A and B are shown apart, each in its own frame.
Chain A
Amino acid sequence: METLTEDLEPITTRDETLLAIRDQMGALLIKSTIVRKLDSLDVTLVELSLAPPAMVRRWKIDTDSCMALLEHKTVIVNQKFLYQVEIAVRSFALAGRVTECHLLRNDEDMFALVRRAQTDPIAYVNRLRRLHALAGTEERVRREVALALLFFVAHEVGHLLDKNDKGNFTTVIKPEAPLETRLSAATSKFWRHYKEFEEYGFKLTDLERESEGKVRTEVEKVLKSIPENEIINQEVWFAYETSADEKAVQILLECLELSDDDDSSVDFALACKALFASSMFSWYKDLLFYVRKSGLPPDIPVNAQQLAVAMTQHSSKYIQAASLFGESHRFTLLRTNLAMESILRAYTDFFSMAEESRSIQYDGPDLRKHVIADALQRYYLTCLLMDTPVKLATMGATTAWKLKKDAERGAPLTFMMNFYSLAAEVERLRQFQ
């Protein structure tokens, strides 16, 4: 019987840049004491689109991103996913400070990047590689991609250490899957995310107080309609993913600390940039897909206003929006936000400073201060961008209650939620001290 490695050989990536990035990531990863608890670890980059169905079934390697194969102590990385990450990291790395970045002028610029990247990812990534080679930034940007990959692989290592191999790394809407239509599943998901957002201080309103507990009552009624074992399973899977995320952060911090690179200040900043770029791409990719799949015609531009209009149409839109929150993961931007905060707490004294002496703006000549300010700005931008998912989760969690009120009233109540554009959030970031 062939081994996993032998069997996967025909679909193993041939892209030398990706292989070099994988090796660079591996050299960092192996320094982690947490990773060394595994007696062996193999990270294999595969072109899964080339895998025959029998191979996928045999090894259970169906992933859009990365997955852990517990029995084989192997992490499988889908090449397609890594190209997306590389494109995101390289595109963001073309620009200087976050407030001048060409991708952050408005939502449309992010959607445009997603669309370009999807057109022909290999051709696009090759253009970006040529550009970075010419700009003299190839070495640094490769390290940045390697650090992003390290975080994703470290998440899977977390699954291996926890001895579970249920999930894949990312929250993505599967193109072939329909959007959510079940009120019960959507409510369960929204309530979990709403509570988690609240736990980390991302809160739109206090639903308990505002609704005098009525929202919770309706949520509980809906949750009762779900078989108990299903709810327990979801909670267990969510806990697995959360645990894997926490291990990923610990591993990342260990690798940054133990990095060979003399200038660890640059290394930690690169990690923040890499996480920021990857999650921005992932969030906008999901958002674009959701808005289009929920019925926005292709000739209507996707932006914050259109999202507000789309979400106003019917309660079913909020039920569908549950698809944006994936299966059993923390929300994309939240996991990045938490990881960045851990890095910044470990490498800067920003959070221990008195509030009045803190600043995320720096315009002077000190490189380290400049690097810290840039990383902090990216971190705070993810905080600001949490506004849309928090609104979706909060409104989504009230859907059952709202439907009950509509039934009592005999007519649906139209409720419009405003979403801030990326331009508005970047402008708010500029105003931060």
Chain B
Amino acid sequence: MTTIKRDIDSPVDASAQLLNSDRIADASVALLHALTLTEHIESQRDKRERLGVLAGQCAKAGFEELALMAKADQVVISEALHETQIMGHELITLANLFHGIGNHEVARRLNQRALDIGTAESDPEMAVAAYTNLAIQDITQKNFTSALPKLEKSLRLLSKFESPRNEMITRAMLVQASDQLETDHERALQAARPLFGRLRSQLSIEQRKELTEVVERMAQRYLGANPGTDVTVWKASALPELWGA
């Protein structure tokens, strides 16, 4: 394994140097060579681990096609080893890669498969990732009505374990989808509260700015529909983490 690992490291290192010299095509051939070398790793688990690293390196280098190939090989190994839970998580990464190159149809199919596995295996983390991804795809296709129940399910599952990043993404999506639908501001603002409280550190400055604009818009809509409301009191009670004293 060590010798093969060294053999694989060599084209990976070469690809990094080639990328630095803008030799994109040569770098991609080097990474393909590394991918081919993984076939010599005897232990299927070791091979899967190396493929995972390689998939990340390929994606980072901008070679999604090679990343997809590495990830697909991982899935095939996990399936053969009957390690369904691991496979489910790999399917989610694979789905994200397809989503990144605009193939939402395949991304949806793979996320759905991961969701089925997550549900069958009682793996809430997997189910959350799949639900949220499916909702993101709905939102990308402007299907906000379909996104909302998935995000709610995701949020319910998130109460069973701690995953601040996933929770931040899910809540942010829920707020944005509600804003687009101009519906149930109360629920949306309730979902937004942790984003300006305990999950605040998970948000980038841009995300915080964007979400603040969204909730401000919601508030304006509510106040416009309910004239006579004491703005300060209402805002402080609706979203104290942002508008409180």
Q: Which A residues form the contact surface with B (CB < 8 A)?
A: 91, 94-97, 99-103, 105-106, 108-109, 111-116, 119-120, 123-124, 127-128, 130-131, 134-137, 288, 299, 301-302, 363-365
Say which residue of B26, B36, B101, B105 sits within 8 Å of A120 (CB atoms).
Answer: B36
B contact patch SS: helix
**Most chain A beta-carbon neighbours within 10 Å: one of B27, B29, B106, B110:** B106
Q: Give the residue name and chain of the B residue nearest to A127 (CB).
A: B69
Given contacts A130-B72, A134-B75, A135-B110, contact A111 B25 (CB under 8 A): yes
Asked if B25 contacts A134 (CB within 8 A), the reply is: no
Q: Give the shortest distance, in Å, between B32 (CB) and chain A (any CB).
A: 5
Q: Give the shortest distance, in Å, between B103 (CB) and chain A (any CB).
A: 4
| B191-229 interface bits toward A, Cβ cutoff 8 Å, 1 = contact, 0 = none | 000000000000000000000000000000000000000
Cα-based distance from A397 to B29 in the complex (angstroms): 37
Asked if B102 contacts A97 (CB within 8 A), the reply is: yes
Cα-based distance from A128 to B72 in the complex (angstroms): 10
Chain A residues, Cβ within 8 Å of B29: 112, 115-116, 119
Chain A residues, Cβ within 8 Å of B65: 91, 94, 102-103, 113, 116
Asked if A131 contacts B25 (CB within 8 A), the reply is: no
Asked if A100 contacts B101 (CB within 8 A), the reply is: yes
Q: Give the shortest distance, in Å, between A386 (CB) and chain B (any CB).
A: 23
Asked if B143 contacts A365 (CB within 8 A), the reply is: yes
Say which residue of A97, A136, A288, A299 sits within 8 Å of B106 (CB atoms).
Answer: A136
- Could you show 7 A-B contacts with beta carbons less than 8 Å apart? A91-B65, A94-B98, A102-B64, A109-B62, A128-B69, A131-B68, A364-B142
Q: Which B residues form the contact surface with A (CB < 8 A)?
A: 21-29, 32-33, 35-36, 62-66, 68-69, 72-73, 75-76, 94, 98, 101-106, 109-110, 141-143
Chain B residues, Cβ within 8 Å of A100: 101-102
Asked if B101 contacts A95 (CB within 8 A), the reply is: yes
Asked if A302 contacts B109 (CB within 8 A), the reply is: no
Asked if B103 contacts A94 (CB within 8 A), the reply is: yes
Cα-based distance from A109 to B32 in the complex (angstroms): 14
Cα-based distance from A299 to B25 in the complex (angstroms): 11
Given contacts A111-B25, A114-B25, A299-B21, contact A96 B104 (CB under 8 A): yes
Q: Give the residue name and chain of the A residue nearest to B94 (CB).
A: A134
Given contacts A130-B73, A363-B142, contact A101 B23 (CB under 8 A): no
Cα-based distance from A91 to B63 in the complex (angstroms): 12
Cα-based distance from A115 to B142 in the complex (angstroms): 38
Asked if A301 contacts B98 (CB within 8 A), the reply is: no
Chain B residues, Cβ within 8 Å of A137: 106
Cα-based distance from A116 to B63 in the complex (angstroms): 11
Asked if A119 contacts B141 (CB within 8 A), the reply is: no
Chain A residues, Cβ within 8 Å of B104: 96
Q: Give the shortest distance, in Å, between B144 (CB) and chain A (any CB).
A: 12
Cα-based distance from A360 to B135 in the complex (angstroms): 27
Q: Give the shortest distance, in Å, between A127 (CB) and chain B (any CB).
A: 5
Given contacts A102-B64, A131-B68, contact A95 B25 (CB under 8 A): no
